[in-house]
Amino acid sequence: MTRATLAVRSQRPSVSKFSACMVYEFGKMAQIWINTISCRFSAEGWCTICDYWDGAFSDDSIDAVESFVKNNGHRFDAILLNTCGSCLCDEELSFTTLEHILYIIAKSSINRIILETHLAYVTEEKIKRITYILAGREIIIEYGQESTSDKVLKFCLNKPSMINEYKIIPKLRELGVKVLANIVLGVPFLSVERRISDSVESIRTILRNGADGVILFPVNIKPYTLIRLLYDAGLYKRVSALEIAEVLGHFTSDVLERVSIAWFEPEREIIVPYSEIGLGPQYCDGCSKTVLQLLYDYNETTEGYIKKNIIGKMLGVSCACKDNLYKYDILDIHVCYAYLKNLFSKE
């Protein structure tokens, strides 16, 4: 699988000449993306569903962050900081540069800072420096757990590095930071029933092991990924927006207060060097307007009982598309593996 992923990813264009820094605004939160080299795990052929681009760092990004925070910081309560992989990876973003950026943020009124990173790059020394610079503010580490199943991580997502890594969460909380875990919905090589149950069990496991919250990520089918290859070959079923409700319908109001949703819009943004856009969840013409609004409503509230009520409305949607929700012609992982082996086996 690694060989196949590397072959697909080798066609990926560089974004090194694209913007040094981009800002996305979501209500009271600003996401600041810094252009860097690609994630090490991506470069080594891991991750069947991921592509966070491959670029290059420029000092211009520091000036851009400083200008944005100085002129716009008062409009936001939170900042999410990310790169082409992990903002705590020294190869992507030197820790000295990260400290500089955090000192800029520390001068603002922003009181919630989210750092997106792979847990492999989290050290006690780094966390202590971060908590010192951002003293008095809420600090959150957000990372991509994707699944807590060893078999799913190894054989479906090609992310064996994540097995049992979530067990360091209690230590991170002792150091004064909160932890948000990203859980994926739409694991390749699995039936719809199985990928829903994997999301449900992963959310339960990660919260049981101390995570403060979970972000549920329906798979977005991105260019230059193995999952896009499978999709184009008819070997992957695009996630239905209604699957989100099937997952969240398993949880109580108390749990739902700790679960938000991301990437549920039907289309993703396009980046200039890329010629095609990623595909978000599938919506049907009959219920798309209703379902999409309910998903926005879910994320806009923090009250568990309101979230529970919204999920109930989604589960109660009457639409013909629900008849095909679980229909999936390819149910055997071996069929997909055989296809990949035929394409990428050594000569």
State the average pLDDT over residues 83-111: 96
pLDDT of residue 271: 64
State the average pLDDT over residues 188-213: 96
pLDDT of residue 45: 86
Taking alpha carbons only, the member of 62, 114, 116 closest to residue 89 is: 116
Q: How confident is the model at residue 330 (pLDDT cuts 50, 70, 90)?
A: low
Look at residue 346 and tell me whether its pLDDT is greater than 80. Answer: no
Question: How many of the other CB atoms lie within 10 Å of CB of 332?
Answer: 10
Look at residue 11 and tell me whether its pLDDT is greater than 90. Answer: no
User: Listing from the earlier edge strand, what are the strands of the sheet with 21-26?
Assistant: 21-26, 29-34, 78-82, 112-116, 138-146, 178-185, 213-218, 259-261
How far is residue 178 CA from its own chain's centroid?
17
- Comparing 95-109, 154-168, 183-197, 250-264, the range with the smallest average pLDDT is 154-168
Taking alpha carbons only, the member of 255, 220, 230 closest to residue 330 is: 230
Alpha helices per DSSP H over the chain = 2-9, 40-43, 60-72, 95-106, 124-133, 150-151, 169-174, 192-208, 226-232, 241-248, 253-256, 288-300, 304-315, 333-344
- What is the C-alpha separation between 238 and 230, in angstroms, rounded? 10
Radius of gyration of the chain (CA): 20
| Percent of all residues in the chain with a pLDDT value above 90, rounded to a whole number | 76
Look at residue 221 and tell me whether its pLDDT is greater than 70. Answer: yes
Look at residue 170 and tell me whether its pLDDT is greater than 60. Answer: yes
Domains, the chain, in order of start with CATH, read: 2-344 (3.20.20.70)
Mean of pLDDT over the chain: 92
Q: How confident is the model at residue 283 (pLDDT cuts 50, 70, 90)?
A: very high
Look at residue 269 and tell me whether its pLDDT is greater than 70. Answer: no
State the average pLDDT over residues 196-225: 96
State the average pLDDT over residues 185-210: 96
Taking alpha carbons only, the member of 251, 158, 146, 142 closest to residue 198 is: 146
pLDDT of residue 68: 96
Q: For residue 285, what are the contacts with CB-CB under 8 A and spacing of at least 6?
A: none
- What is the C-alpha separation between 242 and 212, in angstroms, rounded? 25
pLDDT of residue 55: 86
Instruction: Tell me which of 15 and 192 has the higher pLDDT.
Output: 192
Q: Look-up: residue for tokens 């449900």?
A: 200
Look at residue 347 and tell me whether its pLDDT is greater than 60. Answer: no
pLDDT of residue 53: 78
- Comparing 37-41, 68-72, 96-100, 286-290, the range with the smallest average pLDDT is 37-41
- Comparing 19-28, 289-298, 313-322, the range with the smallest average pLDDT is 19-28
Look at residue 228 and tell me whether its pLDDT is greater than 70. Answer: yes
Q: Look-up: residue for tokens 């938000």?
A: 260
pLDDT tens string 160-169: 878 888 888 9
Look at residue 174 and tell me whether its pLDDT is greater than 90. Answer: yes
